Amino acid sequence: MSQFTKEASSGTVMLRKESTVAWRLSAGVAALMLLQSVSGLAFPELYRDVGWVIAAWYGNDLVTALVAVPLMAWALMAVQRGSRRAELVWYSMLGYCVYNYAYYLFGAQLNWFFPVYVVLFAMPVFALILALGRVDAGQIASAFSEKTPVKWISSYMLFTGIGLTIAWTAQWLNFMLTGAVPDVGEEGFKLIASLDLSYIVPWFVLGAVLLMRRQPWGYIVATIITLKGATYTLVLTVTSTVGALRGIEGALEQIPVWAAWTLVGGLAVWGLLRNLQPAK
């Protein structure tokens, strides 16, 4: 079933009632994301973490305020006009919010933002459940052009998913066999690896397999996770840049890695959305 309905008299495209709650929750999420990120940028002393973590929060807040929130705002406005591209961007930014604020909620030292982190972790989950429950995957997938470069995009997704799995598993094994603590520390490793292996890897791999087979949900999952991935590697690029400027060891070397991955991810998103035909 589609998220949209059309009034016969005016031709106006409207969200179905079932999706209105998800839209309103998402609008609240966007507003709260903006409030939190701008507050974090304006008052960095509210963070109680060590130097490199505070640099990470700064980069995170910057991308959230300047990229994620504007994308969400545009998507929420455009989706009311029936834009298929905006619909997928909307879902992706909700996914970004869940993943992003999981780090704040479970990784940041207790601070004044704690209740906000709880809301920004939980609210987009409910919005996604309500919104995705009404998605007609076949209808959206049929709007993708036959020229959509599914092979290279699914290959990129598989490489990302498998690469993350190998990277985190290798560090875990190295710690267990030699006692060598990962660069981000034991607690940092547990947080980042847990989120990547449980939240990112399955969606990259599943989306890649479904997209490679041109299954309807493959197009949807691939668009959502590649945009979310590109947005977060942009966070890591900015975070590494901020860290390098603040003299944090090892930050400079990470910039080209994350910048390259952001570029590749951005190209994958472009390859998908460019081939998604507008709703008639």
- Residues 43-58 pLDDT 10s: 999 999 998 899 999 9
- Provide the pLDDT for residue 17: 53
For residue 82, with 0-12 CB atoms within 10 Å meaning exposed, 13-18 middle and 19 or more buried, which class applies? Answer: buried
Closest CA to 19 of 124, 132, 96, 139: 132
Contact (CB, 8 A) for 58 and 41: yes
CA distance 264 to 32: 30
- Residues 210-219 pLDDT 10s: 999 999 999 9
C-alpha dihedral sign at 88, 202, 24, 119: negative
- Provide the pLDDT for residue 16: 57
Tokens 């930050």 map to which residue? 251
Angle between helices 150-178 and 216-245 (to 10 degrees): 50
Q: Which residues of the chain have pLDDT under 50?
A: 1, 6-14
- Provide the pLDDT for residue 8: 37
Which residues of the chain form beta strands (DSSP E)? 4-6, 13-15
Predicted TM-score (pTM) of the model is: 0.92
- Provide the pLDDT for residue 109: 95
User: What radius of gyration, in Å, describes the C-alpha atoms of the chain?
Assistant: 19
- Residues 47-88 pLDDT 10s: 999 988 999 999 999 999 999 999 999 999 999 998 999 999
